[in-house]
Structure 1
């Protein structure tokens, strides 16, 4: 038995953690008979193509107007809007609709209302090796509960459970409640035995496709009383039958965001035919700033001036998204230059900086601006942090300074006459008091980083903390960059000035960590770590699968969409990037997921939709000449001369964000070794899966990109009686009592690699391909 479950997460977004989303089931609204559900483009067409965003299309009944965007009478108003999360799942079972029936591992799926505590125990047990102990609390209304899906409205069901109640403790019963309202509407009888297992039941007619099974004590309060629960079942029919421990299983088919909410009519019948797209849609939008900027923005600055504007700019802008204003050019005396941009040595990450070249300490140009009312308010109510980068060869010059509107409060960051970092401040608007920790001479032409922590009275320079005696500031609002009091004009570069007002001084560690980003650009961090870093910039997450991930080179400049940079990581890894089907996360598979895999599903050719099964022997995937490089690295060529002699040149150029040139050439060799002469292969496996045995059907529902299938009993005309293939992409069409799947596949043997002393994978000149 298989049932569809479609839910919407009104009030949330695709990147909201699944556990935090309040789901509204709309299964009853889905037109599953005439239009069905289409899930397309999951994965890629073949192993050489990039994964594309997948989509899901379905039609919902909107006769009551509940799904009309902007309609105030909708129970979901005002959250019927674009981007609403949607998930499509199937629940499968032989009989029992409970997902955690016997607590063999844990109590997952079960929760409590009120104060009962639940735990898995191993004694007493009715079935298997575990049961659930419920310890009741001292509240007026309490229960333990589990959601049940896949019900047919109007059908009679019976819930049952074995309970063990110690002598002197409260009897318990089963009841059913509506998930949407929490209203109880079907009740079973209370247990009657003590110190023995007893089966209790509750029979009801389903009024919704999903309900909640609850177990509650007879007396409202009874702190410390215990009941043990085991062998829970919910099945069709008016009586309980033999317990089946093989409970219901959920299979995630799609998770994404609704693109639009159209309201349309057939006569007077309103529907909403929607299409949703997975998290790749969000990841493909917009352009990232540099990696250093994105790390700063993650920490939600109150004001942030990267100072990386284009070379023809004469002002600097704030990227924090607050009310901080721009910084304009101010001149003092005569002469001097101020410019943005620069070459590879401009800024700590080579992505540009503000360059100041005054005539002397009193003649030149600098920047000034108003940070706005919000900054002034925060600087008075919270401790502030100030961060920045600087480079100079000249002592006794000013990096930046902050003042209140009345000039009473002033704080200035500079280098003193010995080149040491210096903070000067006043709370009276009069003479500045200086504090210069022993940082050594920083006027050495090298890019340095500082973070000032007002609450702790520390300044961190290049990751090292120094104590400074500076009073707290209030009502700070005006910023001067590269000068103070029209003097001590900075000579050199300044960049990434950021201001925070987050609260506890312990937060300083996250700002100090920007020093690592600026100096190392995170070169060499593993691919799974890099992917998680990039996804975090837009609030997404990454789940890594497989073995060890290799080091990734510099992506300091970024500048493209998050998805494009995640694809760069996947390409460098030789892995696969795909959206999670059960959440808004991204899955990154390492390349060794596919090394020498074995088939997890076997299908007989007669069970397939044979009209679309074919084998191809063509040059679609042929590659025999690869030109490979990495940013800032060597350009190298790898070729297979035998293939070139046989077919001519089939070139391909690749740029990989690898850490070393050797890794680049290894990847190029791996590409040529696999595709210099591709043999015939099956590229599609279509199957109408609904009528297959339950175990096979479940396996096909769970099959995903990189799952391996074996197709047996091929016709005599095939090159072999069976074929082993790897799933690259999936298209699904679901209708009532039908689940048609078309798997885009590739030849699994393409990813076989050499294994020492293996009878299968160390045969000379056959399976001795070296992987990397």
Structure 2
């Protein structure tokens, strides 16, 4: 592969073996760069900071003369996987090298100074013999794996995936390996394994075996292999493969290189791969030109936002239930006047609403949720419920209307196996029920007090003299086996209060552990014999029925909803989460937690980078119901007043409002003064208009619908009345006030915005390493020095990035929103220095006094449990937890800090010691200037 020193290596590849739901990172990629015609265009982001973020998009024209990219071509090596939403990536490597691997793959993490231990998934290291780790090797890290004795040969000891293969091209691999187990010997070789569209290995290319003699200080031995990728290759693995062994041994592998070459070249550390877009091929439109002789495909590619736009979300409680994999779940939220109730999972038939042979009782659907008190409601769903009114008992022959689950193929809980769980929500009228009132019952065909019978009841007790003999109005659970009540449990208090309650019953596989969780409180029953009834036939809601004796009685009066079952025992955490979801709908989430929760509801399998969020307590998540995923995520971002986007590498990013407050200095300066390090630009257009001006701001609290207003009369007089309205889902009314005032202060006057700025790295290759680091949200400074006029200095954040590539040319167009010019007050990071040097292995250090030493003791700022970082941003950086600090008095000059663990490095006197810094920061003094609180200090929220 010929390299240009002034042009990055470009990788455009499709993963035909992966889908939207595949785990990331994707394993196999095939390059389509040789098919690329006339470059392409990529755009991500939004216009300015108040606009909605758009889905990223890439347009590429690919040569399809051979028909391989035709969706209906059965002879294509990619058939039948030429379908919408196959993963695609476009990335560039700088500095350019022959390496197809990432720098961390090739160096076992040394390029990023990864710690020893578990291997990050981004390295895509695999093994047929176990899980490799990162360990200290002869030079930096190495991949390490213990190979068991008598292992099957010709399998991968360590393999690397994720690089792009080019069909028909010769590829070469090299690696260095050694055996560190004394008195053993092994033979290994390098291997290239080609896979087809199904991920199955087509063929292997193996190099010459080499012997690895075992010793703790053994030397690295090179292994190599070369081979041509078949025309049908859709991906590949490179590996160090086992040939033979004398015993169990531990191998280390390092210095990998994969390249397009007839033979391995001198090892080179790869340049950094920077993505332009990672997403999915959405469309494969076929085109014929030149009188039908030339075929091309002009593919449209999108990022993850495009997939979230059409994906609708259900009520949060339903989403959480479905995520746990129930066998069936009848919400009982069906509309009025139906004759069946539907299973939300789609696994079961609709269950009929059945009338007793002795006449109808009362059962209506489509009823609104009601409760005696606000706390007695549930918020996890806004759907309707079913109301039962089987009020007239007549011995064992009652008129009633009920839900017949057994007609849908449900005959009680499963027997044995992994146990079972059943859930249901209920609301009983205030007062003692007139008779025992069965919400759920499963039983055998007949009831014989003297013989063998089995039943499971979930009921309300009428009196101490009733069948169950419990506290009047209590929620009772009884399991009967062979006429013996092996479980006989009741709640200590009445639940007939007009409020909603959630009951969860779990039974272990052997039937000897029964747990009843009522409103989040769990009681455990340990029966002497199995509590799992056998031979159950009936399963009903709202009545007790024994069809073999024509007995129907204990009709239920009250509301029911959310009846479901699992063929497993849900964990206490799962049950607790379901109760929280049902009762409060996750009110109290931080914005970061809510954003992550929505990603989980969406089934997003990719990577994410999610800030905690400055909004610490949101309202219920009920606002997602019926909304698409992207709208729901955007609502969280609006509440936070933060930002979100899909990073160029495909990761979903949520940034709190604090993130941009913390970006105080520009990453790069764009201007014509190249001698001072500025990046030159070509086209520049500023926008200055009142489109985003607002002097009448209304912020509405989502849960209460209360509106908070902030206005500026002077701005309205100058520019006319300009309104801005937004709804935020915070539980704090004060935060709504703060948000309104902040937005008013931010937008009551117009501001410059960069409408277009073009960077042209192909014309100035020295710019490549800087330009490829730019990302949405990067803070930059734009300098414009017009002749005879004052210089314009514009500080802003990149909101939109649009790449255009063509043969021999590449440029990047940016749109930039203004950085807030106010210097907001922020807490500074606690920082000091070592008074004396500290050696590796020590558990304590002596530090110099803090700035407030004249008035406050050291422990007031550094309590036990605080994490301190020594030498942040260096190769010796390490973070430890404070155990104790020595006593100090006002005016102290030093203090001894003892940690819960020992130092891993030696640190010199004067080394920085600070509290743990936010991700991406290494300078503890970053916030010092903002930490001075005075009469003119501006406060954000």
Short-chain TM bin: 0.7 to 0.9
Matches within 5 A, 1:233-252: 245=269, 247-252=270-275
Aligned residue number for residue 652 of structure 1: 724
| Structure 1 residues 64 and 230: alpha-carbon distance in aligned structure 2, compared to 1, 3 A threshold | same
Q: 1:730 & 1:416 partners in 2: Cα distance?
A: 66
Given that 1:37 and 1:57 are in contact with CA atoms closer than 8 Å, whether structure 2 keeps it comes out as yes
TM-superposed deviation, 1:335: 7.1
Counterpart position of 2:628:
561
Of stretches 141-150 and 490-499 in structure 1, the one that deviates more from structure 2 is 141-150
The residue that corresponds to 1:709 in the other structure is: 780
- CA drift of 1:705 comes to 2.0
Matched, 1:724 2:795: yes
Choose the corresponding residue for 1:540, options 576, 600, 604. Answer: 604
Conserved in 2, the CA contact under 8 Å of 1:96 and 1:248? no
C-alpha contact 2:476 2:491 (8 A) present in aligned 1: no
* Aligned: 1:254 with 2:284: no
Aligned residue runs from structure 1 range 340-489, under 5 A = 340-342=366-368, 345=371, 348-349=378-379, 351=382, 352-361=384-393, 366-370=401-405, 375-376=410-411, 379=414, 382=417, 383-392=419-428, 393=430, 394-395=432-433, 396-403=436-443, 410-417=455-462, 418-425=472-479, 435-455=488-508, 456-467=513-524, 471-474=531-534, 479-485=539-545, 486-489=552-555
Alpha-carbon spacing, 1:146–1:698, altered in 2? closer, same or farther (3 Å): farther
CA drift of 1:675 comes to 0.8
Correspondence 1:104-143 to 2 at 5 A:
104=110, 105-106=113-114, 109=123, 111=125, 113=127, 115=129, 120-122=134-136, 124-125=138-139, 129-130=140-141, 139=151, 140-141=153-154
Check whether the contact 1:29–1:62 (CA below 8 A) recurs between aligned residues: no
Quick check: 201-210 or 407-416, which moved more?
A: 201-210
C-alpha distance in 1 between matches for 2:604 and 2:726: 27
Which residue of 2 is the match for residue 26 of structure 1?
31
How big is the alpha-carbon RMSD for the aligned residues of Structure 1 and Structure 2?
A: 4.2
Are the counterparts in 2 of residues 14 and 279 from structure 1 also a CA contact under 8 Å? no
Aligned partners of 1:626, 1:543: CA distance in 2, in Å? 33
Separation in 1, partners of 2:255, 2:390: 82
The structure whose RCO (Cα within 8 Å, separation 6+) is larger is: 1
| Inter-partner Cα distance in structure 2 for 1:475 and 1:281 | 51
Contact 2:645 2:653 in 1 (8 A): yes
**1:506 to 1:298, Cα distance in 2 relative to 1, 3 A:** closer
Q: C-alpha displacement at 1:515, in angstroms?
A: 1.7
Alignment of 1:52-71 (within 5 A): 52-71=54-73
Paired with 1:507 and 1:192, the residues of 2 have a C-alpha distance of: 48
Change (3 A) 1:328 1:608: farther
Aligned mates of 2:8, 2:584 — CA distance in 1: 52
In the TM superposition, residue 618 of structure 1 has moved relative to its aligned partner by 0.9
CA distances 1:220-247 after superposition (whole Å, capped 9, x unpaired): 33446677666556789999988655x2
Answer yes or no: is the 8 Å Cα contact 2:212–2:221 preserved in 1: no
State how far apart, in whole Å, the 2-side matches of 1:348 and 1:130 are. 53
Gap change, CA 1:603 and 1:177, over 3 Å in 2: farther
Partner of 1:299: 324
Give the 5 Å matches for 1:181-260. Answer: 185=205, 187=207, 214-215=239-240, 220-223=244-247, 245=269, 247-260=270-283
Distance 1:756 1:642 in 2: 32
Residues 403, 577 of structure 1: alpha-carbon distance in 2 compared, 3 angstrom cutoff: farther
Q: What is the CA deviation profile of residues 26-72 of structure 1, one whole-angstrom value per residue up to 9, with x for unaligned ones?
A: 324532x42x23222x2221110121222222233334444333544
* Cα deviation, residue 498, structure 1: 1.2
Per mean C-alpha deviation after superposition, the further-off stretch among 650-659 and 305-314 is 305-314
**Structure 1 contact 595–751 (Cα < 8 Å) conserved:** no
Q: Secondary structure at the match of 1:532?
A: helix
- State the 1:159 CA deviation: 6.9
Alpha-carbon deviation of 1:553? Answer: 0.7
Q: Is the 8 A contact 2:437 2:459 kept in 1?
A: yes
Per-residue deviation, 1:591: 1.2
**2:251 & 2:369 partners in 1: Cα distance?**
72
| Count of residues in correspondence between the two structures | 757
Q: 2:707 aligns to what?
A: 635
- Bigger Cα displacement from structure 2, 281-290 vs 293-302: 281-290
Gaps of 5+ in 1: none
Counterpart-to-counterpart distance in 2, 1:638 and 1:701: 41
SS in 1 for 2:61: strand
CA shift, 1:256, in A, is 2.6
Contact 1:153 1:205 in 2 (8 A): no
After the TM superposition, which of the residue ranges 465-474 and 481-490 deviates more from structure 2? 465-474
| Cα distance, 1:385 vs structure 2 | 1.8
Please say if residues 28 and 164 of structure 2, whose CA atoms lie closer than 8 Å, have aligned partners that are also in contact.
no
Q: 1:425 to 1:175 in 2, by over 3 A?
A: closer
The residue matched to 1:275 in structure 2 has which SS? strand
Hey, what does 1:87 align to over in structure 2? 89
Aligned mates of 1:717, 1:182 — CA distance in 2 = 69
Residues 293 and 190 (structure 1 numbering): CA distance in 2 closer, same or farther, change over 3 Å?
closer
- For 1:150 and 1:767, how far apart are their aligned partners in 2? 57
How far does residue 214 in structure 1 lie from its aligned partner after superposition?
5.0
Is the 1:411–1:426 contact (alpha carbons within 8 Å) kept by the matching residues of 2?
yes
> What corresponds to 1:600 in structure 2?
667
Residue 11 of structure 2 corresponds to: 5
Question: C-alpha offsets along residues 127-158 of structure 1, whole Å, 9 cap, x if unaligned?
Answer: xx455567766553355454695799999998
- 3-state SS of the aligned residue for 2:691? coil
Deviations 1:559-594 (CA, angstroms, capped at 9, x unpaired): 2222222211111111112224434x5321111111
- Residues 75-132 of structure 1 deviation map (CA, whole Å, 9 limit, x = unaligned): 344333233233333333343625234443357637465559865555633xxx4555
How far apart, CA to CA, are the structure 2 residues paired with 1:177 and 1:7? Answer: 19
Task: Report the Cα distance in structure 2 between the residues aligned to 1:600 and 1:2, rounded to whole angstroms.
Answer: 21
Spell out the pairing of 1:154-173 with structure 2 (5 A cutoff). none
Q: Using a 3 Å threshold, how does the CA distance of structure 1 residues 78 and 56 change in structure 2: closer, same or farther? A: same
Task: Report the Cα offset of residue 666 of structure 1.
Answer: 1.2
Q: CA deviation at 1:324?
A: 3.0
C-alpha separation in 1, matches of 2:390 and 2:602: 40
The whole-number CA distance in structure 1 between the counterparts of 2:350 and 2:171 is 65
